[in-house]
Structure 1
Amino acid sequence: MTPISLAVSPVAWWQPAVDLAIALVLSAAIGLEREIRQKSAGLRTHTLVGFGAALFMLVSKYGFSDILGDSVVLDPSRVAAQIVSGIGFIGGGLIFVRRDAVKGLTTAAAVWLTAGVGMAAGAGLWLLAVVATVGNFVVMLGLTSLAARLPRSKHAQSRLRLSYSDGRGVLRQALAECTSRRFAVDELSLDQPGQSRDTGTVTVTLLIHGPGSIGDLTSRLAEMEGVLTVSCADADTEHI
């Protein structure tokens, strides 16, 4: 696309607006998926990131056409490089560590990709922006089920949350069951320490790992007398 100048047809002035509109729609589509999954960066964040990236690209392409000449030379790619660096600060703010679990990596990567989609739309590469958006949904929706079917590593930690009636020796039996099924308990924490005195119910969280079947262990614990609820989730990965 040639730089915009007063000599260009008025129709050409609509081109940047169309680029912005495409960036807005595609970025909002990515953000909508994150919003539905209740992530820290959702519809508005992703839309603004993609929309802003496209705006910066358009300013880089057309904003300095009135000062260009024989003695003035500009490199539009410098703005694109600064967008990539700047998005890193936003992505870094979405990643946090709780205990040994790192959360927010997928959402941060989605924000980074959204910036790329906005840059592509702002550069007039509409097809590339659309393909990247489709690729995002293939990864987010298609690869999630595939990752769940992959063999589980014996070193991967699981977070087991167990609620039971106090005074029945349930925790001792649960720990023995974990050991018998080749699971090692890495950490045990008591949720709401004063809860058992008020309700007679104790809730503990166990970090475990091992080559055994976590589904079989959960089912066996649920069948134990005195166990009220039991749930399990991966401790080292983000549920995207």
Structure 2
Amino acid sequence: MWIQDAHYLEITLRLLLATLLGGLVGLEREQSNRPAGFRTHILVCVGSALIMLISIYGFEEYIKERSQYGYVVADPARLAAQVVSGIGFLGAGTILVHGFAIRGLTTAASLWVVAGIGLALGAGFYFGAILSTGLVLLSLVVLNRFESAVLHKSYFHRLVLKMEDQPGKLGEIATKLGEQNVNIRKLSIEEASQTDPDTVRLVLNIRIPNTVSMAILVDQLRSLDGVKEVSIDK
């Protein structure tokens, strides 16, 4: 028999735990509407655990046969090590560029960590896998709320402009914001309405220094040619 009967229960436990722990991390990413969500994280974690299990148990019969002719050196980490480098290609696919902002770095990092959790489960390192999952969820859920509530509350705002669709208008607005040391974190452009194709709606996530007055900034933007409406939310 290729795998000893005593190993089947252990293999089942490790793969089920990989499904559970990977799914917990993926569920948070799914709720945050990220590119890689619930199923992707499960697949990465289970796949990593499976590769680790193959490294441990997949060559038992070969090692047993070869050991009859001499000493055989087995390295279970050799096959699993390819997961660490290979997961980078999948993580890169979740990184997206939106205007001046880059999104997906956290999701790429969570995929990389989930791959590590899967390898740990495949190797039977349950304590490290469970503890790592708890720390990842703490970072993604609790610390994310802390960051939004404490670090971003006083500095980051959502700026919405309704303006005419003219060449160079975006650069003019960016220049005006740059003069006030306003940092553009994210930008999106969409049609203001189907009935008025010459008007666009510009949405920017910006960071405003404490020395800049929001009221003055809004007035300066309203004074630009082609800008019809300006609103800002905290």
Matched, 1:150 2:130: no
Q: In structure 2, how many angstroms separate the alpha carbons of the residues matched to 1:59 and 1:99?
A: 43
Tell me, yes or no, if the aligned pair for 1:153 and 1:211 is still in contact at 8 Å. no
Structure 1 counterpart of 2:231, which letter?
A: V
Query: Deviation per CA, 1:156-214, whole angstroms, max 9, x where unpaired?
Result: x86622237x8xxxx9xxx8xx87x9455879997438x59738965234576552378
Q: In structure 2, how many angstroms separate the alpha carbons of the residues matched to 1:83 and 1:19?
A: 17
Report the Cα offset of residue 97 of structure 1: 2.1
Tell me, yes or no, if the aligned pair for 1:218 and 1:231 is still in contact at 8 Å. no
Structure-2 change in CA distance of 1:127 and 1:184 (3 Å):
closer
Report the Cα offset of residue 231 of structure 1: 4.9
Structure-2 change in CA distance of 1:142 and 1:71 (3 Å):
same
- DSSP 3-state at the match of 1:67: helix
Structure-2 change in CA distance of 1:231 and 1:49 (3 Å):
farther
**Aligned equivalent of 2:196:** 198
Structure 2 counterpart of 1:19, which letter?
A: R
Structure 2 counterpart of 1:217, which letter?
A: M
Q: In structure 1, how many angstroms separate the alpha carbons of the residues matched to 2:216 and 2:39?
A: 41
Structure-2 change in CA distance of 1:40 and 1:151 (3 Å):
closer
Gaps of 5+ in 2: none
Structure-2 change in CA distance of 1:152 and 1:206 (3 Å):
same
Structure-2 change in CA distance of 1:160 and 1:65 (3 Å):
same
Query: Deviation per CA, 1:12-71, whole angstroms, max 9, x where unpaired?
Result: 431111111111111111111111111110011000000000000000001001111225
Matched, 1:59 2:54: yes
Matched, 1:217 2:218: no
Matched, 1:19 2:14: yes
Structure 1 counterpart of 2:56, which letter?
A: K
Q: In structure 2, how many angstroms separate the alpha carbons of the residues matched to 1:110 and 1:188?
A: 24
Structure-2 change in CA distance of 1:73 and 1:147 (3 Å):
same
Q: In structure 2, how many angstroms separate the alpha carbons of the residues matched to 1:189 and 1:151?
A: 20
Matched, 1:160 2:155: no
Q: CA RMSD in A?
A: 4.2
Structure 1 counterpart of 2:9, which letter?
A: W
Matched, 1:32 2:31: no
Superposition TM-score, scaled by structure 2 size? 0.71
Gaps of 5+ in 1: 234-240
Superposition TM-score, scaled by structure 1 size? 0.70
% identical aligned pairs? 35
Task: Figure out how many residues of one structure are paired with residues of the other and give that number.
Answer: 211
Q: In structure 1, how many angstroms separate the alpha carbons of the residues matched to 2:200 and 2:59?
A: 66
Tell me, yes or no, if the aligned pair for 1:31 and 1:43 is still in contact at 8 Å. yes
Structure 1 counterpart of 2:201, which letter?
A: T
